[in-house]
Amino acid sequence: MSSQKKRFLIARLNHETNTFSPVPTPIEAFAPNYGADAYRANKGMRTAMAAFIELAEAEGAELVTPVSAMANPSGPVHAAAYDELTRRIVEAVPGCDAILLDLHGAMVAENSDDGEGDLLARVRAAAPGVPLGVALDLHGNITEKIVRNADVIVGFKTYPHIDMYETGEHAGRLLLEMWRGDTQYEVIWKPLALMSHTLRSTTLSGPMKDACEQARVMETQGLPAVSVFGGFSLADIPAPCVSVVATVRKGDAPAQQPVIDAFANKAIWQRRAEFIYDSEPLAESLAKAQQLATRADGKPVLLLDHGDNCMSGGTCDTMDVLQTALSLGMKGIAVGPLCDPEAVAQMFDAGENAQVEIALGNKRSLAHLGMDKRPVTLRGVVRRLSDGKYVVSGPIYNGMECQMGRTALLDIGDAQIVVTEQTHEPWDLGVFHCVGVDPTKARYLLLKSRMYCRPVFVPLSAGLVECDSPGVTTSDYSRFAFDRVSRPVYPLDRDV
């Protein structure tokens, strides 16, 4: 009730785990902020936690912000990191009257297959009866533990994700209604035995767009919240799968469960084949790009190397797409960013305008996936050295300062390659501008990205070609050993 002491726990802990990725996830990968620093890291930003903060402050509440931590997708979270970050949240629970958590939904730790579910169970045990609301990523792998230990769940409805703040506002608004005593909520769900491909979870077109639009309609028709989760299938856990989650008024679950089941069946299961991405050979994709370039009218053609996308846990250092493009005689290629700290160090030692011979890329072993990759020797000129910092000007994380680590531009004639110390998603033109490259002047733009680059780069391009290279984020499920996934599941079992 509003007469209660106003003490709200608000925290953020985000990680999408690719259990096949060799990229480690220690606590340093999260660059965590604690206490007042966690508050400052989100205040005025476009995160769900930022929305929680504004709602709580409008209520005049005392804020407890134990942690804000986000790491790029990578391998399982180190046990020590998971224990420390979750401990800070759980230990802050006593004495709080409302809890709002900005989580991802697809975290796997070395000591937890269900990172969010285990955390929520501990929070619930520490605060029985305290209203608990959660904002989740559209790619959450929802579990029974997540559903049963939250009063309110709302997920993103966009991919590329541009509604993080709005999702937090939605979840927070419902949670405040509970805290005031206006109404009570509970969560219901419908899991589906469907491992969708990330490229088919975009809300720009296709079945996920239709499903999320229908979810919005259902909300206007009286359901407090309906969220469609595409899941994150690059995790060898029991159910890295699609699900539908709804927040309903307490007592409405028996009436609303059939509605959610029917929606999930019609909008998703009956269209399950549309959630699967069929890859084509890399040479065929690049041949299409060459055809596009002949009628590009001076605009670059986007080559999206989604088989090595750091925002799905990629190493960001595979060379397959560039090697194949060069072998096909393609020129005027701008590449970025490719992560190779050793090559960066060599170019910084050489200095700008130096002629260098570099063993580039393929440094992270993918032997566990049966892939034997070796660095590629390239000769070129170090055109520019940079601190790798830029500010996002596009719609995703607008205004955020990005840090790629030390960054160098290697010019090999047919291609200009942005090489960084850290894996980095090409959110923005700043990836190229920070080393003096105008990407609009390239004939081809080779980006290690699935989706996040699109709001900025697609409008500047003559078209895009998706390139499924052999890496830890490939859409070719046959490259992965899914030993722990519950079967049958589509498409691993086509007759399900």
Cα-Cα end-to-end distance for the chain: 48
d(CA 24, CA 464): 31
Beta strands in 251-406 (DSSP E): 301-305, 333-339, 355-360, 376-386, 389-391, 401-403
Domain boundaries, the chain: 7-275, 282-474
C-alpha angle 39/44/49, rounded to 5°? 55
* Beta bridge partners of residue 77, listed in sequence order: 25, 109
Tell me what pLDDT residue 5 has: 63
Pinpoint the alpha helices (H) of 181-305: 206-220, 253-267, 282-293
Tell me what pLDDT residue 393 has: 86
DSSP 3-state assignment of 244? Answer: strand
Question: CB of 25 within 8 A of CB of 31?
Answer: no
Tell me what pLDDT residue 340 has: 98
d(CA 200, CA 181): 40
In this structure, what token pair is assigned to residue 1? 């009730």
Q: Tens of pLDDT along the chain (496 residues)? A: 444 569 999 999 999 999 999 999 999 999 999 999 999 999 998 899 999 999 999 999 999 999 999 999 999 999 999 999 999 999 999 999 999 999 999 999 999 999 999 999 999 999 999 999 999 999 999 999 999 999 999 999 999 898 999 999 999 999 999 999 999 999 999 999 999 999 999 999 999 999 999 999 999 999 999 999 999 999 999 999 999 999 999 999 999 999 999 999 999 999 999 999 999 999 999 999 999 999 888 999 999 999 999 999 999 999 999 999 999 999 999 999 999 999 999 999 999 999 999 999 999 999 999 999 999 999 999 999 999 999 988 777 778 788 999 999 999 999 999 999 999 999 999 999 999 999 999 999 999 999 889 999 999 999 999 999 999 999 999 999 999 999 999 999 988 8
Q: Count of alpha carbons within 13 Å of 393, Cβ hemisphere only?
A: 10
Residues in the chain, how many?
496
Closest CA to 171 of 186, 184, 188, 155: 155
Tell me what pLDDT residue 1 has: 44
Q: What Rg, from alpha-carbon coordinates, does the chain have?
A: 23
Question: CB of 468 within 8 A of CB of 302?
Answer: no
Query: How far are the Cα atoms of 45, 120, 168, 235, 302 from residue 48, in angstroms, in the given order?
Result: 9, 17, 4, 24, 31
In this structure, what token pair is assigned to residue 435? 């080393």
Residues with Cβ within 8 Å of 33's Cβ and at least 6 positions away in sequence, in order, are 40, 41, 67, 68, 69
Question: CB of 244 within 8 A of CB of 269?
Answer: no
